[in-house]
Amino acid sequence: MAAINGNGLLETSFQTEAIEVRRDFLPYLRLLWERRRFLCRVAGCSFLAATLMALLIPVKFRSTTRLMPPDSFSTSGLGAMAALAGRAGADGLGGLAGDFLSGKSSGALFVGILGSQTVQDGLVNDFNLKQVYHDSKIEEARKDLSDHTDVSEDRKSGIITIAVTDHDPKRAAAIAQSYVTKLDQLVAQVSTSSARRERIFLEGRLQNVKTDLDSAARNFSDFASKNTAIDIPEQGRAMVEAAATLQGQLIAAQSDLSGLRQIYAESNVRVRTTEARVNELSKKLDELGGAGIQGAATDHPLYPSIRKLPLLGVTYSDLARQTKIQETLYQLLTEQYEMAKVEEAKEIPAVKVLDPAIVPTKKTFPPRTVIVLLGTILGIAVGMMCVFTRTRWDAVDANDPRKVLATEVFRTVRARIPLPRNGTSSNGHHLEIRTGESVEKPESARAT
What is the rounded average pLDDT of the residues 81-96?
Answer: 46
pLDDT for 288 equals 63
pLDDT for 260 equals 76
Q: pLDDT, tens digit, for every residue of 305-360? A: 555 666 566 676 677 788 888 888 889 989 988 888 887 777 666 788 888 999 99
pLDDT for 448 equals 35
pLDDT for 230 equals 60
Reported as type and span, the H/E element at residue 264 is none
304, 235 Cβ separation under 8 angstroms: yes
355, 64 Cβ separation under 8 angstroms: yes
Strand partners, 10: 4
Percentages helix, strand, coil for the chain, rounded to the nearest 5?
65, 10, 25
Q: How far apart are CA 112 and CA 107, in angstroms?
A: 9
Question: 60-193+348-355 has which CATH code?
Answer: 3.30.1890
Task: Answer yes or no: is pLDDT of 32 > 90.
Answer: no
- Helices and strands (H, E) in the chain, number of each type: 16, 9
Q: How far apart are CA 177 and CA 184, in angstroms?
A: 11
Task: Answer yes or no: is pLDDT of 142 > 90.
Answer: yes
Task: Answer yes or no: is pLDDT of 19 > 70.
Answer: no
Burial 33-50 (b: 16+ CB within 10 A, else e): eebeeebeebeeebbeeb
Task: Answer yes or no: is pLDDT of 369 > 80.
Answer: yes
What integer best gives the mean pLDDT of the chain? 75
Q: What amino acid occupies position 25?
A: F
Q: In 10 A of CB 364, how many CB atoms?
A: 14
Sequence-ordered strand ranges (E) for 41-189: 60-67, 149-153, 160-166
399, exposed or middle or buried, with CB in 10 Å at 0-12, 13-18, 19+? exposed
pLDDT for 97 equals 47
- 3-state class (DSSP) for residue 130: helix
Lowest mean pLDDT among 37-51, 73-87, 225-239, 329-343: 73-87
Q: How far apart are CA 2 and CA 14, in angstroms?
A: 9
**pTM: predicted TM-score of the whole model, two decimal places:** 0.49
pLDDT for 176 equals 94
Confidence of residue 162 (pLDDT cuts 50, 70, 90): very high
Domain boundaries, the chain: 23-57+367-394, 60-193+348-355, 212-331, 396-448
Q: pLDDT, tens digit, for every residue of 396-427? A: 888 888 888 888 888 888 888 765 544 444 44
- C-alpha separations of 57 from 53, 78, 188, 309 in Å: 6, 47, 42, 98
Q: pLDDT, tens digit, for every residue of 41-55? A: 998 999 999 899 888
What is the rounded average pLDDT of the residues 71-79?
Answer: 49
pLDDT for 150 equals 94
**Cβ within 8 Å of residue 273, ≥6 positions away:** none
- C-alpha separations of 133 from 136, 140, 172 in Å: 9, 9, 13
Q: How far apart are CA 10 and CA 21, in angstroms?
A: 19
pLDDT for 374 equals 93
Reported as type and span, the H/E element at residue 439 is strand 438-439
302, 292 Cβ separation under 8 angstroms: yes
How do strand 60-67 and strand 353-355 relate by DSSP bridges? antiparallel
Confidence of residue 64 (pLDDT cuts 50, 70, 90): very high
Lowest mean pLDDT among 196-210, 335-349, 373-387: 335-349
